[in-house]
Amino acid sequence: MPYRTIIEPFRIHTVEPIDFPTETERHEALERAGWNLFGLHADEVIIDLLTDSGTGAMSTEQWAGMMRGDESYAGSRSYYRFRDAVKGVTGLEHVIPTHQGRAAERILFSTAVKPGDVVPNNTHFDTTRANVEYQGAEARDLVIPEGKVPAARHPFKGNMDVEALRATIESVGRDRIPLVMVTVTNNSGGGQPVSLANLRAVREVCDEYGIPLFLDACRFAENAWFIKLREPGYADKTPREIAAEMFSLVDGCTMSAKKDGMSNIGGFLAMNDADLAHECRNLLILTEGFPTYGGLAGYDLEAVARGIEEALEEEYLRYRIRSTEYLAEKIARAGVPIVQPAGGHAVYLDAGALLPHIPASQYPAQALACALYLEGGVRGVEIGSVMFGKPQADGTEIPAPMELVRLAVPRRTYTQSHVDFVGEVMIAVAARASELKGLRMVEQAPWLRHFTARFEPLV
Ligand SMILES: Cc1ncc(COP(=O)(O)O)c(C=O)c1O
């Protein structure tokens, strides 16, 4: 159509009211939560951009599918529909359902990784890193140099540094690298895509050394859309064809269906290696459930089976990627530093650049996330030294490479006016950036501390 405006490719069918806590209520809530936005009650939040994981709206087809959920313990019809849908999109032979992405990670790493191993990735997501480290192995991030510079523009900033991968294999030794992972899109690195050329180059290195390659496929459909838009030779391919090419280059994948499975819960582990799949299924039975449900209800399997197809629809992807870019443009036009270009599922604010007066040891990105909440009830998430800082024995910390706040956009959930509101709130906070103060961490867990850590504001 000859019109510029890209519209939401759906009508609203059911509405969920938003609460409007006052400024005083927001302050009290944040104090109670120990200045950690994970501790807020959802009704204390006006616009919730904490995560795009499981927070989207499902389609009428998904809800209809749920009514057909077969809750048989073993061999449910819903499992076979799920398996066929996943196989249809990925081409991978063995499909193991899990309750979400981290369960797939835990099962894969418990089976394939041992203490002393090194797992390279472009950038490990927090749960992926934690699950690798839990096995006593090292999670090594090897994104290209541009991927670590928020303002640097590159069409595929999520690409893996192929030479760094080769150097890692040479120095660590092939025997200590049980697998290589590539995360699409690269969530912790700004939601940036990985090109097919890069994936092919990584595959070649893996083949040279005989190392299996796995995708962390959470946002495979968004990655496919970016390839269509930006990689020469792919403009005329469908997202499904591009996704098929991505999956054809790997031996397996972990997946959180709470992202591009368009579902509120679910995930899977898929692979071609029958022996590895056999071991993974045995472990699945121990903690998740029988291999034809893997911790999910039959109706959840139905929702994923439809969701994974809907995530590849062109009209949906065009709207999805454009709405994130729209928020990024609004914020960047007002001079707020962000990771450029916009990510697929989120806008990443560069708190390090906006708050240069707050050192990493006082968690500038956490301070910015709290300020956004206090200003307008907008909940984002810190992706900086709270999430990825490394505490040392002497009480100091190695800071994260970047201090970011992620504003993740739930799928098919908010309208353009919600996004405009978020832009206004961000611009208001940026106008008084020099007045913001850092935080002191007063409580932390040994793993994934960002979920439960407590802070006190510095005065
Ligand atoms: C890239 C990536 N990998 C893994 C996960 C873990 O998935 P889940 O939250 O379903 O356990 C996430 C979740 O946000 C993610 O973004």
pLDDT at 335 over 90: no
CA Rg value for the chain: 21
Max CA separation in the chain (angstroms):
63
Please name the amino acid found at residue 351: A
Tokens 């039975």, located at residue = 285
- Give ligand 1 pocket residues (Cβ under 6 A): 53, 100-102, 125, 127-128, 183, 187, 216, 218, 256, 258, 267
Q: How confident is the model at residue 265 (pLDDT cuts 50, 70, 90)?
A: very high
The Å distance, Cα 233 to ligand 1 centre, comes to 30
- Output the average pLDDT for the chain: 96
Q: What span, in angstroms and rounded, lies between the C-alpha atoms of 317 and 327?
A: 16
Strand residue runs (E) in 187-240: 213-216
Omega before 178 cis (within 30°)? no
Question: pLDDT by residue (tens digit) across 279-305?
Answer: 999 999 999 999 999 999 999 999 999
Q: Are 296 and 97 in contact (CB under 8 A)?
A: yes
Nearest alpha carbon to residue 260 among 277, 242, 248: 242
Token pair recorded at residue 243: 């996704």
pLDDT at 172 over 90: yes
Q: What span, in angstroms and rounded, lies between the C-alpha atoms of 452 and 29?
A: 15
Token pair recorded at residue 120: 């390279």
Q: Are 244 and 253 in contact (CB under 8 A)?
A: no
Tokens 């309208």, located at residue = 415
The Å distance, Cα 135 to ligand 1 centre, comes to 18
Per-residue pLDDT, 448: 87
Ligand 1: residue whose CA is nearest its atom 5: 101
The Å distance, Cα 183 to ligand 1 centre, comes to 10
Ligand 1: residue whose CA is nearest its atom 6: 101
The Å distance, Cα 102 to ligand 1 centre, comes to 6
Q: Could you tell which of 192, 216, 218, 220 is best to mutate to test the pocket of ligand 1, judged by most ligand atoms within 8 Å of the CB?
A: 218
- Give the helix, strand, coil percentages of the chain, each rounded to 5: 45, 15, 40
Ligand 1: residue whose CA is nearest its atom 16: 187
Sign of the C-alpha dihedral computed for residues 361, 426, 54 and 228 taken in this order: negative
349, β-bridge pairs:
338, 405
Q: What is the mean pLDDT of residues 259-270?
A: 98
The Å distance, Cα 101 to ligand 1 centre, comes to 5
Please name the amino acid found at residue 185: T
Question: pLDDT by residue (tens digit) across 61-115?
Answer: 999 999 999 999 999 999 999 999 999 999 999 999 999 999 999 999 999 999 9
Q: What span, in angstroms and rounded, lies between the C-alpha atoms of 396 and 403?
A: 17
Tell me the pTM. Answer: 0.94
The Å distance, Cα 400 to ligand 1 centre, comes to 19
Nearest alpha carbon to residue 411 among 62, 147, 153, 158: 62
Backbone angles phi, psi at 344, to 5 degrees: -75, -45
Lowest mean per-residue pLDDT among 193-202, 304-313, 328-337: 328-337
Ligand 1: residue whose CA is nearest its atom 14: 53
Q: Kindly give the number of the ligand 1 atom that is closest to the alpha carbon of 127.
A: 6
Q: Could you tell which of 98, 102, 383 is best to mutate to test the pocket of ligand 1, judged by most ligand atoms within 8 Å of the CB?
A: 102
Token pair recorded at residue 303: 């929702």
Omega before 90 cis (within 30°)? no
Q: Kindly give the number of the ligand 1 atom that is closest to the alpha carbon of 51.
A: 14
The Å distance, Cα 293 to ligand 1 centre, comes to 19
Token pair recorded at residue 313: 């629809």
